[in-house]
Amino acid sequence: MGDFLPDNASDWLHWIDLLGVAVFAISGTLMAHKKHMDGIGVIVLATVTAIGGGTLRDLILDVPVFWVSDNSYLYAILLAALITIIWIRRSDRFPLRFLLHADAIGLAFFNIMGAQKALSMGVSPVVAVMMGTMSGVFGGLLRDVICREIPLVLKGELYATACIIGGILYTLCLYVGMASHWSMAAGILVTLTIRLLAMRYHWQLTVFHPPTNH
Amino acid sequence: MGDFLPDNASDWLHWIDLLGVAVFAISGTLMAHKKHMDGIGVIVLATVTAIGGGTLRDLILDVPVFWVSDNSYLYAILLAALITIIWIRRSDRFPLRFLLHADAIGLAFFNIMGAQKALSMGVSPVVAVMMGTMSGVFGGLLRDVICREIPLVLKGELYATACIIGGILYTLCLYVGMASHWSMAAGILVTLTIRLLAMRYHWQLTVFHPPTNH
Amino acid sequence: MGDFLPDNASDWLHWIDLLGVAVFAISGTLMAHKKHMDGIGVIVLATVTAIGGGTLRDLILDVPVFWVSDNSYLYAILLAALITIIWIRRSDRFPLRFLLHADAIGLAFFNIMGAQKALSMGVSPVVAVMMGTMSGVFGGLLRDVICREIPLVLKGELYATACIIGGILYTLCLYVGMASHWSMAAGILVTLTIRLLAMRYHWQLTVFHPPTNH
């Protein structure tokens, strides 16, 4: 990773990664609650959502899967799920907005972390942007498929699009020589901003003519 | 594997593994029958159920996938599926109880075999318990997702919980110095017993207040 | 690959692979249109359909994933998806027949390419036939699961069966000493022909007695 990161970078990269894992665990827990799941199924769904994207990324890059040699990720998931459970038990309405916002934050973190890890393995920028997008959307895709929801990533509102734009900006920042941590911050912020604005104003990419009926 | 297993262990480990694969193949075949599938789709579903969990385990541990270099697993799946098909054709009612029991036995075998393989690769006990649970539940999760059923693992009745408790017991037994094969037997029995009792008495872990309606 | 292929083979193998990826991308795009998806979700579904099977094949064979070090696959997917989108926008009816035919062609290509790659890694013929089938059906299985359709592979009409017969023929051709490219052509043609005939005449493999009602 020496090409992209200063020496003391692995520390704060790890914390950002943990944060991304935790917010996706929260979004998995909230979805489980929405679907009236209970018991350990909640933890299972939180875990799948939180580590699904990064696990696929590491398998495809053929590097050690990030949570196998480092217990802190599993503890972060458990902690995030437990706090969310306690919080839901004390509250009395479903926080759909929180689910979507937690999902957006996890998406932004995982997108740029995924692209960064892919670049550090020497792949081309095109593949790095795709690996970032995949890291960002795959955990949530698994969550939605398991819960038999239409996946968020397929419902428009610039979900994968935000990842692609944020990823391209991140690789461009690196290309023009910006410091690694500023490039990452820029990529994360842009991904998050586009996704939040798209949710707020229901932005859509339209590629087909709208069907007259279905 | 030298740390955990006597020299002649690989033989009976292989047979236990084959047995776990076969019972999961049976559960996949029964599910295919329940969903009115037919033809080779039955074999496909039996195969996915039987090798899904172990394949994911081996990919994440970065060891050769267990069925690639050893044809006996594929033959065991075909044999189990064929016997189940013949048996269903001669009987005239759907054996839902058998589906659930075959699933429970496969779950118990895969759970402890997965934890054992993970430990033999040098991972921490926490990750080993999780890898065991994942090996146990993932094949059935794929089966249920493909068939568009709500996954058993998310419906409570101590499905993943049984794996976690059995896995913790197994690692504890090894930790206090119990022989590897006795530790495995204890882990398998405890996983199976908890799951069967939970099915029998509809045990549930409740983490959320019950919803008033849905 | 020296055992199975002449020296100038990698070139036309690469073009066949690109063609298979492109037709599966088309089938993913058509399915997205059928399900009234829009925006980048179309591209996501096209990509998952096109690279899902080959990615799983490469992960299990533990070789570098084919699209990571070669951008041409991602460009082929984008191009195929864009052309399909433009074509659908100009036409006014849903080309269901084209979806099924594109799927059949992709199936035949991926089946034999998967078996060839597996054989070149030294696996047994049984595993090679299975890896070919898996390469062929997995992308479409993901497409259908994500779109909450009953997977084509489970609906009969000799979907996986065509792969298995084509794969067996391909390995037999190699075994009797036929040149690699003729063996591949034979395998691809037979897979495609069986699948197309099964679609045309609604061939089914029946293993269970037909249910009286459901």
Contacts of B47 in chain C (CB under 8 A): 130
Q: Does residue A78 carry a pLDDT above 50?
A: yes
* Tokens 């990750």 belong to residue: B127
> What are the tens digits of pLDDT across the range B139-154?
888 888 888 777 777 7
List CB contacts of B117: < 8 A, sequence separation 6 or more: B57, B58, B61, B63, B131, B135
Backbone angles phi and psi of C183, in degrees to 5: -60, -45
Are residues B64 and C62, on separate chains, in Cβ contact within 8 Å?
A: yes
State residue B209's pLDDT score.
57
Residues of B in contact with C126 (CB under 8 A): 71, 74
Least reliable range by pLDDT among A25-34, B36-45, C13-22: B36-45
Q: For residue A184, is pLDDT > 70?
A: yes
Q: Do B68 and C60 touch (CB under 8 A)?
A: yes
Computed over every residue of chain C, the mean pLDDT equals: 83
Position C201 scores a pLDDT of 79
Question: N- to C-terminal Cα distance for chain C?
Answer: 50
Residue C93 has pLDDT above 60, yes or no: yes
pLDDT (mean) for C70-76: 91
CB contact under 8 A, B154 and A146: yes
Among B48, B25, B29, smallest CA distance to B141 is for B48
A209 contacts chain B (CB < 8 A):
no
**pLDDT classification of C140: cutoffs 50, 70, 90:** confident
pLDDT band at B16 (very low <50, low <70, confident <90, very high): confident
Handedness of CA A167, A172, A174, A178 (dihedral sign): negative
Check: CB of residue C119 under 8 Å from CB of residue C128: yes
CB contact under 8 A, B127 and A37: no
Give the mutation candidate from B37, B40, B67 for the C interface (greatest C CB count, under 10 A): B40
Instruction: Please spell the DSSP secondary structure of C16-73, one letter per residue.
Output: HHHHHHHHHHHHHHHHHHHTT--THHHHHHHHHHHHHHHHHHHHHHTS--TTTS-THH
Of all residues in chain C, the one with the smallest CA distance to A149 is C148
What is the pLDDT at residue A172?
95
| Mean per-residue pLDDT, B151-161 | 75
List, for residues A110-130, the tens digit of each pLDDT value: 999 999 999 999 899 999 999
What local confidence, expressed as pLDDT, does residue C208 receive? 63
- CB C38 to CB A127 under 8 A? no
Among A19-28, B24-33, B152-161, C28-37, the minimum mean pLDDT is found in B152-161
CA gap A89, A83 in Å, rounded: 10
Q: Does pLDDT of C15 surpass 90?
A: no
Query: Would an 8 Å CB–CB cutoff place C204 in contact with chain B?
Result: yes
pLDDT tens track for C150-178: 777 777 667 888 999 999 999 999 999 99
The whole-number average pLDDT for the span A32-51 is 83
| Cβ within 8 Å, pair B208-A85 | yes
Of the candidates C99, C81, C70, which has an alpha carbon nearest to the alpha carbon of residue C44?
A: C81
pLDDT value at position B79? Answer: 93
> Which 140-159 residues of chain A touch chain C by CB within 8 A?
141, 145, 148, 150-151, 153-156, 158-159
Segment A45-73 mean pLDDT: 91
State what percent of residues in chain A have pLDDT above 70: 86
Distances (CA, A) of C44 to A100, A128, A133, B114, B140: 20, 16, 10, 33, 26
pLDDT, tens digit (0-9, with 9 covering 90-100), for B76-101 = 999 999 988 888 888 766 566 777 78
- Tell me which amino acid residue B87 is: W
The one-letter amino acid code at A2 reads: G
A21 exposure class (CB count in 10 Å sphere: 0-12, 13-18, 19+): buried
Record: contact A146-B141, CB cut-off 8 A? yes
Chains that touch C (3 or more CB pairs under 8 A): A, B
Q: Give which of C112, C102, C156 is closest to C134, Cα–Cα.
A: C112
Using DSSP's 3-state secondary structure scheme, residue B56 falls into helix
The per-residue pLDDT for A183 is 93
Could you give the C-alpha distances from C188 to B45, B168, C99, C194, in angstroms and in order?
24, 49, 19, 10
Indicate the residue of C33, C38, C43 with minimum beta-carbon distance to A206: C38
User: Are B44 and C208 inside 8 Å of each other by CB?
Assistant: no
Residue of chain B whose alpha carbon sits nearest to that of A82: B207
Nearest CA-CA partner of C47 in C79, C88, C10: C79
Least CA distance to C148: which residue of chain B? B148
| Least confident stretch, A44-53, A118-127, A148-157, B161-170 | A148-157
Alpha carbon of C211: minimum distance to chain B alpha carbons (Å): 8
Shortest CA gap A86–chain C (Å): 32
pLDDT confidence band for A46 (50 / 70 / 90): very high
Residue whose C-alpha is closest to residue C162's, from C213, C100, C210, C214: C100
- The contacts of residue C81 (CB under 8 Å, 6+ apart) are C25, C26, C28, C29, C42, C43, C46
Residue C153: list chain B partners with CB under 8 A. 41, 44
φ/ψ of B63, rounded to 5, equals -115, 160
- Other CB atoms within 10 Å distance of the CB of residue B95: 17
Q: What does the buried/exposed string (b/e) look like for A53-83 if buried means 16 or more CB atoms within 10 Å of the residue's CB?
A: bbbbbbbbbeeebbbbebeebbebbeebbbe
Q: Residue B78: which residues within 8 A CB-CB, separation 6 or more?
A: B43
CB contact under 8 A, A130 and C74: yes
Task: Report whether pLDDT(A99) > 80.
Answer: no
How near does any CA of chain B get to the CA of A69, in Å? 7
Most C CBs within 10 A among B35, B38, B91, hence the mutation to make, goes to B38
When the pLDDT of each residue in chain A is averaged and rounded to a whole number, the result is 83
Q: What is the pLDDT of residue C154?
A: 72
State the average pLDDT for chain B.
Answer: 83
Query: For residue B151, what are its two tokens?
Result: 């996954």
Residue type, A43: I
Q: Please report the DSSP string for A144-172 in residue order.
A: HHHTTPPPGGGS-SSHHHHHHHHHHHHHH
Record: contact A38-B208, CB cut-off 8 A: yes
CA–chain centroid gap for B43, Å, is 18
Percent of all residues in chain B with a pLDDT value above 70, rounded to a whole number: 86
From C39, C44, C47, residue closest to A207, measured CB to CB: C39
C-chain residue closest to A142, CA distance: C146
Phi, psi at C64, each rounded to 5°: -55, 135
Q: What is the pLDDT of residue B143?
A: 87
CA dist., res. C112 & res. C133, Å (int): 8
A41·B159 Cβ contact <8 A: yes
Give, as one character, the DSSP assignment of residue A210. P
ipTM of the complex: 0.82
Q: Which of A57, A53, A41, A48 is nearest to A25 (CA)?
A: A48
Type of residue numbered A95: P
Asked whether residue A9 carries a pLDDT value surpassing 70, the answer given is: no
| Residue A39 Cα to chain centre, angstroms | 24
The answer to whether A86 faces chain C, any CB pair under 8 Å, is no
Identify the residue with better confidence: A148 or A188. A188
**pLDDT at residue C214 in the model:** 40
Q: Does B61 touch chain A (CB under 8 A)?
A: yes
- Give the residue-averaged pLDDT of B69-74: 90
Does pLDDT of B189 surpass 80? yes
Q: State how far residue C51 is from chain A, nearest Cα, in angstroms.
A: 12
A116 CB-near residues (< 8 Å, 6+ apart): A4, A5, A13, A132, A170, A180, A184
Cβ distance of A41 and B154 shorter than 8 Å: yes
C-alpha to C-alpha distance for C127 and C53, rounded to whole angstroms: 15
Residue A6 has pLDDT above 90, yes or no: no
Å from C123 to nearest chain B CA? 7
pLDDT of residue C14: 82
Average pLDDT over residues B55-59: 92
Nearest Cα of chain A lies from the Cα of B207 at a distance, in angstroms, of 6
Whether B181 shows a pLDDT value over 90: the answer reads no
Structural contact between residues B28 and B47, judged by C-beta atoms closer than 8 angstroms? yes
Residue with tokens 């017969």: C165
Backbone phi, psi, residue B176, to 5°: -85, 5
Distance from CA of A85 to the nearest CA of B (A): 7
Does residue B209 or residue C56 have the better pLDDT?
A: C56
Per-residue confidence band for A43, with pLDDT thresholds at 50, 70 and 90: confident
Highest-pLDDT range among A28-37, B82-91, B177-186: B177-186
Q: Is the dihedral of CA B199, B202, B208, B210 positive or negative?
A: positive
